[in-house]
Amino acid sequence: MNEAPSPESRLVRARRQFLGAMFLLVLTAIVLPWVMDAVPPETLREPEIRIVQGDKVTVIPPRQAGPTAEAPSEAVPETPPSDAVQTPSAALAAKSDASADASPPSKAPEPAATASAQKPTPSPGGAASAEAPKGAAVPPTSEPPKTTAIPPGLRFDAKRVGERARATAALKGVASPDRPLTRYWLVQVAALRDAELAAKEAQRYRQSGLTAYVLEADGQGWYRVRIGPYVSENEAREAVQLVRERFKAQAHLVAVNVP
């Protein structure tokens, strides 16, 4: 005769049945959507390919594959338009028209010379510039005056610079009515052949706070750039040192006697 199961064995058996039922329930919840899904999963798309060669980038588009891709349609030969089909008579007419266009145009008749073309063209000078008879005196044409590249304010004026030196000496107590100024000094900073360059050089020193002039040498073609005047030799030597250090120029002293 079989013995009745104990309460402990019944509890273990109930636990096993409960765990088995939970496992089947979870498995059904996972597998059932895959089985019941009517729409097939989307196929993976091919990636876009980029080929880089220096500065040139070549892009290869992805290939369309799968059930939604359409089959390429067969190429249908295009029929030429009705205008392109020419009959033999039309081709002959077109050939004759082309030969007529290629023929050189006829030369137009030259117009007769007018009376105005035979008249001499007057010059800007009027009647005075017309052809004069042989032996007649022709008045000389006036040429525009040549302008200098040195502005008046930069041109060296010995009288004006001498008066400025006397006024500076009187203010500094170097000269007086009993002891007039007999000499002043200038500092030469450049000697150039081009008057325009010399004027620009003098203007550059003036922008730095130094009084510069351009002295044109008579008949030598040199334009000397000088700064001053200085009423004492020590002050002039300090200016020479300043020009050499600040402007990197080969400066030297020039003594000028006051008449």
CATH classification of the domain holding 201: 3.30.70.1070
For residue 197, the model assigns a pLDDT of: 95
pTM, rounded to two decimals: 0.44
In a domain, 242, yes or no: yes
CA–CA dist 228, 218 (Å, integer):
21
Task: Please report whether residue 30 resides in a domain.
Answer: no
Is there a domain that residue 50 lies in?
A: no
State residue 72's pLDDT score: 47
Pick the closest to residue 196 from 225, 226, 234 (CA basis). Answer: 225
Percent residues over pLDDT 70 in the chain = 62
131 in a domain, yes or no? no
Count the domains in the chain.
Answer: 1
pLDDT for the residue numbered 67: 47
pLDDT at 225: 97
> Which residues form the domain of 227?
158-257
d(CA 96, CA 243): 90
Walking along the chain (259 residues) 10 residues at a time, the average pLDDT comes out as: 75 89 89 70 70 78 56 48 48 53 51 46 46 53 57 92 94 90 96 94 95 89 95 95 94 92
Q: Is residue 24 part of a domain?
A: no
Please check whether residue 70 lies inside any domain of the structure. Answer: no
Q: pLDDT tens for residues 117-151? A: 445 555 444 444 445 455 555 555 555 444 467 89
With respect to residue 249, please indicate whether it lies within any of the assigned structural domains. Answer: yes
Cβ distance 202 to 214 under 8 Å? yes
Give residue 90's pLDDT: 52
